[in-house]
Amino acid sequence: MLVVMKAQATQEEIQAVCDQIEQMGFRAHPLPGAQRTAIGITGNPGEIDRGSFEDLSGVADVIRVSKPYKLASRDVKEEDTIIRFPGTDAAIGGQNLAIVAGPCSIESREQAFAIAEQVAASGAQFFRGGAYKPRTSPYAFQGLGVDALKIMAEIRDQFGLRIITEAIDNETLELVADWADVIQIGARNMQNFSLLKHAGRLRKPVLLKRGMSATLDEFLMAAEYIMSEGNYQVILCERGVRTFADHTRNTLDLSIVPAVQKLSHLPILVDPSHGTGKRDKVLPMARAAVAVGADGVLVEVHHQPDKALSDGPQSIYPSQFAVMMDEIEQIAPVVHRTLPRGIRVETGAA
Ligand code: PEP
Ligand code: MN
């Protein structure tokens, strides 16, 4: 159920509707839009009597939402969600493309700084590196943990880049939330509902990667888990799915971008690194991702990929990243987008 407020509804009127919803034992999710505020209702086991709201002042309409995802749906919010980073000009969603780059794993301070310096020089606004790695083998490099989080915080101070890193469980979630600007939830955890709910109780943006075999509905329902707890800052990320095709590590499903955009207001990035697993396929698919209308791309970059402790074969060189930025910059206007170069950080907002 969705309560649509009149365009001129006051804050007090919106609050009164929320109070009424909470008094009924349900949860109210006011989502302000450009024209009007809509209030999503969750936690109701069945139909709610429309009459409970129709007569409240400021209410324009009461609508039944038929889709299983409500807060992630365009029914609740027509306009695209834009996630902003206070004190900077960076955003994910909206007119500007968001470019996320960095190594799969933070391996050392030197490695991380070498890569950060070069991706910042090419104009990336977001630096992503793994501190906690969900590896297929328990014997593979598991990440530097808190030390990596500290290195990334230094990188934010030095280059202004906003930091994205993965949390793999409820314990690392708290740590990542303390240090990073965006919490990544990886493909393997897309249906870890306990983790999704915990992330929903935080007030930090969450980058949610598509599960290896998740359908569109399952993907949006995972986002809904986070939003149902009150965290509406969800960024979706397509990273390829498992298919019979074996010329790439995964099959990058670019058609999910327009499919998501039709149903949901949430921004969606594309990760052609995990999506292909092969360095020579990353640039072509990054170009395609922008052309298809993605809100940005996430790529793995390493200055010495042959020595990388994880995902070396799919990591592009910093020189290739520079080429990718030039190419994306040219494609962007065709799809009515702009590629910002570099991040502007207000003094005191590091
Ligand atoms: C990663 O981003 O390094 C990663 C492990 O990605 P995914 O969860 O998409 O496999
Ligand atoms: Mn990786």
Looking at the fold, whether 52 and 7 belong to one and the same domain comes out as: yes
Neighbours of 214 (CB within 10 A): 18
Check: pTM over 0.85? Answer yes or no. yes
The rounded Cα 104 to chain-centroid distance in angstroms is 17
Looking at the fold, whether 201 and 320 belong to one and the same domain comes out as: yes
Domain termination residue (choose one: 63, 94, 109): 63
For residue 349, being part of any structural domain is answered with no
170: domain CATH number? Answer: 3.20.20.70
Question: How long is the chain?
Answer: 350
Looking at the fold, whether 236 and 312 belong to one and the same domain comes out as: yes
Give me the number of domains the chain comprises.
2
pLDDT-based confidence at 184, cuts 50/70/90?
very high
**pLDDT digits 0-9 by tens, 202-259:** 999 999 999 999 999 999 999 999 999 999 999 999 999 999 999 999 999 999 999 9
The rounded Cα 316 to chain-centroid distance in angstroms is 22
Query: Closest ligand 1 atom to the C-alpha of 128?
Result: 2
Q: What token pair was written down for 192?
A: 């870890």
Q: Residue with the nearest Cα to atom 4 of ligand 1?
A: 186
Strand pairing report for 162-166 and 206-209: unpaired
- Burial-class residue 328 by CB neighbours within 10 Å (0-12, 13-18, 19+): buried
Give the Å distance between the CA of 53 and the centre of ligand 1: 44
Q: Residue with the nearest Cα to atom 6 of ligand 1?
A: 186
Give the Å distance between the CA of 105 and the centre of ligand 2: 7
Looking at the fold, whether 235 and 123 belong to one and the same domain comes out as: yes
Looking at the fold, whether 199 and 297 belong to one and the same domain comes out as: yes
Looking at the fold, whether 97 and 236 belong to one and the same domain comes out as: yes
Q: What is the pLDDT of residue 23?
A: 94
Q: How far is CA 272 from CA 34, 63, 105, 299, in A?
A: 32, 39, 17, 7
The single-letter code of the amino acid at 91 is A
The single-letter code of the amino acid at 196 is L
Query: Closest ligand 1 atom to the C-alpha of 188?
Result: 8
Looking at the fold, whether 169 and 214 belong to one and the same domain comes out as: yes
Domain, as residue range, for 122: 83-335
32: domain CATH number? Answer: 3.30.70.1140
Hey, which residues does 40 pair with through a beta bridge? 2, 29
- Which ligand sits nearest to residue 100's alpha carbon? 1
